[in-house]
Amino acid sequence: MLVFIGMGLWDERDISLKGLEEARRADEVYIEFYTSKLIGTNLEKIENLLGREIKVLERSDLEENSRVLVREAKAKNVAILVPGDPMVATTHSALKLEAEREGVKTKIIHGASILSAVCGLTGLHNYRFGKSATVSYPYGKPSATPVNVVKANWSIDAHTLLYLDLHPEPMLIPTAVEILRKAGLENCFAVGIARAGSEEPAVKCDFLEELCQYDFGEGLHVIVVLAKTLHFMEYECLRTFASAPSALEKLVR
Amino acid sequence: MLVFIGMGLWDERDISLKGLEEARRADEVYIEFYTSKLIGTNLEKIENLLGREIKVLERSDLEENSRVLVREAKAKNVAILVPGDPMVATTHSALKLEAEREGVKTKIIHGASILSAVCGLTGLHNYRFGKSATVSYPYGKPSATPVNVVKANWSIDAHTLLYLDLHPEPMLIPTAVEILRKAGLENCFAVGIARAGSEEPAVKCDFLEELCQYDFGEGLHVIVVLAKTLHFMEYECLRTFASAPSALEKLVR
């Protein structure tokens, strides 16, 4: 059996009781910090909580060498600890697919994800979010993909959650804003969010280019680019939770 | 202080360690089953886990009488247990807004949400989901809203997560399919999902109208209406995780 266990957003205490039990009784426990990070903790603290050794998986263990994990899960109960909610990363669904095709039973213990957390932190309505995208470090020409996704979402009046690249190091909001502006995104409002799930998350709404002026502190960072209109409750929440400027009022329909 | 604690998807053991600690040390603990349900547990089991009494909030306590809760949270540490991830329901963001305006500190302990869980259960890519909507019981003329959202999402090639109405009782997939068909939705593929987060979730992909033929068992149920195209990995996952018919292959781009 191969069990994917969501670790939630911030530290080792974001795991569910069910996830903790499942990890403690597994034959082997792995963890991966490739698809996301848990900034508020470290391997030692997680091992202490579980009371056992945890092996760290690299990207190659999850992808081109995934058959090693799958083979092990045929004979034993293997648990993989994953930041956030497992399977939001496509790497995990590919691994789950390979396992099931090999006749290995799989299970998911869900954890909290940035996908839903942004609604609570910003007050933006979850049903108004459109497609999401990742802002990647530019190698050569800046990629237009996130900007195209924002524009597609604007065409149906939806917000856009933008993940920021994690490799080689977690991208911070000023870098992402610069990349988005170079790719042609301007004249819009956005919300920068840092450390979702921690005791001190930072949430700030302003014109996209102004977000560079604000100190969000340490990562992880994400950005929500707002739709072209806001529900009045979204506006009120952004004013209170995210110190949005009063100029935002013009978006209220 | 007012603390919103996400309970996750299925039973009392889906709460995080952090959420459990926070609930145990609060002065008062409330729970609400209005915005969603925890089918795999009941109040008594949750009270046993916490080792204390929990008061159940009705819709009116969260909405028109919310000032009572806010006033109490001025003087004490008040925790509200919420199925899923708090604030995905707009009721909670309105309550958080009212509290903060009254000078009451608020905090969110995030929990797993159906929003991210559907990705793991179906293998559909999270970045391809568009706006979501709720299929409500029809009173008189069937509401066109969910169908309009599906069509808007199709225009940007996105999937649609449809929540099913919970009141007066949790709607099941056959009823929702009937309502969607009457509102004009046809000729599309969809995935029915039951009991996300449980040991025995049901996941079935087929033509929307065919989902009525399948026994999904007890709730909660949701539906994902697929975009007009699929990534080949999404197709492969739906074949394996959701017994999708081979006719689905025509959507692979």
Please check whether residue A186 touches B, CB under 8 A.
no
Taking CA–CA distances from B231, the nearest residue in chain A reads A90
B152 vs A18, A101, A156: nearest CB? A156
Which residues sit opposite A192 in a β-bridge?
Answer: A204, A223
pLDDT band at B218 (very low <50, low <70, confident <90, very high): very high
**Residue B229 contacts residue B252 (beta carbons within 8 Å):** yes
Segment B86-102 mean pLDDT: 89
Output the pLDDT for position A138: 86
Please check whether residue A237 touches B, CB under 8 A.
yes
The Cβ of residue A212 has, within 10 Å, a number of other Cβ atoms equal to 16
The ipTM (two decimal places) reads: 0.94
Where in chain A is CATH 3.30.950.10?
114-251
Shortest alpha-carbon distance between residue B121 and chain A (Å): 8
Torsion (CA) B95, B96, B100, B106 in degrees, nearest 10 = 130
Supply the mean pLDDT for chain B. 95
Residues 35 to 64 of B: which have CB under 8 A from any A CB?
none
Please check whether residue B22 touches A, CB under 8 A.
no
B129 vs A16, A131, A134: nearest CB? A131
Segment A198-211 mean pLDDT: 97
pLDDT tens for B132-184 read 999 999 876 666 799 999 999 999 999 999 999 999 999 999 999 999 999 99
Shortest alpha-carbon distance between residue A140 and chain B (Å): 24
Instruction: State the amino acid at position B15 in one-letter form.
Output: I
Please check whether residue A146 touches B, CB under 8 A.
no
**Residue B30 contacts residue B37 (beta carbons within 8 Å):** no
Output the pLDDT for position B144: 73
SS3 (DSSP) at A106: strand
| A87/B120 CB distance under 8 A | yes
A19-54: b (≥16 Cβ within 10 Å) or e: bbebbeebebbbbbbbbbebbbbeeeebeebbeeeb
| B116/A115 CB distance under 8 A | yes
Q: Is the pLDDT of residue A88 over 90?
A: no
Taking CA–CA distances from A129, the nearest residue in chain B reads B131
Shortest alpha-carbon distance between residue A58 and chain B (Å): 21
Output the pLDDT for position B90: 83
| A97/B123 CB distance under 8 A | yes
**Residue A32 contacts residue A57 (beta carbons within 8 Å):** yes
Please check whether residue A127 touches B, CB under 8 A.
yes
Output the pLDDT for position A90: 83
B187: its two tokens = 């000729």
- Cα distance between the two ends of chain A: 51
**Residue B238 contacts residue B122 (beta carbons within 8 Å):** yes
Residues 201 to 220 of A: which have CB under 8 A from any B CB?
none
Q: Which of A128-142, B24-38, B43-57 has the lowest mean pLDDT?
A: A128-142
The full length of chain A comes to: 253
Where in chain B is CATH 3.40.1010.10?
2-109
Which residues of B fall within a CB distance of 8 Å from A121? 87, 108
pLDDT tens for A26-76 read 999 999 998 899 999 999 999 999 999 999 999 999 999 999 999 999 999
Residue B39 CA to residue A93 CA, distance in Å, equals 26
Output the pLDDT for position B142: 65
pLDDT tens for A125-178 read 999 999 999 999 987 666 679 999 999 999 999 999 999 999 999 999 999 999
Residue A18 CA to residue B17 CA, distance in Å, equals 10
**Residue A111 contacts residue B112 (beta carbons within 8 Å):** yes
Segment B13-41 mean pLDDT: 96
**Residue A96 contacts residue A4 (beta carbons within 8 Å):** yes
| B112/A111 CB distance under 8 A | yes
Segment B10-32 mean pLDDT: 97
User: Under CATH, to which class is B2-109 assigned?
Assistant: alpha beta
Inter-axis angle of helices B90-101 and A232-241, nearest 10: 50
Taking CA–CA distances from B152, the nearest residue in chain A reads A156
Please check whether residue A88 touches B, CB under 8 A.
yes
User: Under CATH, to which class is A114-251 assigned?
Assistant: alpha beta
| A237/B96 CB distance under 8 A | yes
Supply the mean pLDDT for chain A. 95
SS3 (DSSP) at A35: coil
Torsion (CA) B182, B188, B193, B194 in degrees, nearest 10 = 30
* A207 contact partners, CB below 8 Å, separation of at least 6: A187, A188, A189, A190, A245, A247
B174: its two tokens = 């056959």
| A88/B116 CB distance under 8 A | yes
SS3 (DSSP) at A80: strand
Which residues sit opposite B192 in a β-bridge?
Answer: B204, B223
Which residues of B fall within a CB distance of 8 Å from A228? none
Residue A94 CA to residue A205 CA, distance in Å, equals 36
| A121/B108 CB distance under 8 A | yes
SS (H, E, C) chain B: CEEEEECECCCHHHCEHHHHHHHHHCCEEEEECCCCCCCCCCHHHHHHHHCCCCEEECHHHHCCCHHHHHHHHHHCCEEEEECECCCCCHHHHHHHHHHHHCCCCEEEECCCCHHHHHHHHHCCCHHHECCCEEECCCCCCCCCHHHHHHHHHHHCCCEEEEEECCCCCCCCHHHHHHHHHHCCCCCCEEEEEECCCCCCCEEEEEEHHHHHHCCCCCCCEEEEECCCCECHHHHHHHHHHCCCCHHHHHHEC
A233 vs B94, B108, B119: nearest CB? B94
Cα–Cα distances (Å) from B222 to B122, B161, B170, B240, in that order, read 12, 7, 10, 19
The Cβ of residue A1 has, within 10 Å, a number of other Cβ atoms equal to 16
| A86/B156 CB distance under 8 A | no
Q: Do the bridges between strand B2-6 and strand B221-225 make them parallel or antiparallel, or are there none, so unpaired?
A: unpaired
B117: its two tokens = 């869980």
Residue A117 CA to residue B176 CA, distance in Å, equals 27
pLDDT band at B246 (very low <50, low <70, confident <90, very high): very high
| A117/B108 CB distance under 8 A | yes
| A9/B110 CB distance under 8 A | yes
Alpha helices by DSSP H, listed for chain A, are 17-25, 43-50, 59-62, 66-75, 90-101, 114-122, 145-155, 173-182, 232-241
Which residues of B fall within a CB distance of 8 Å from A199? 107
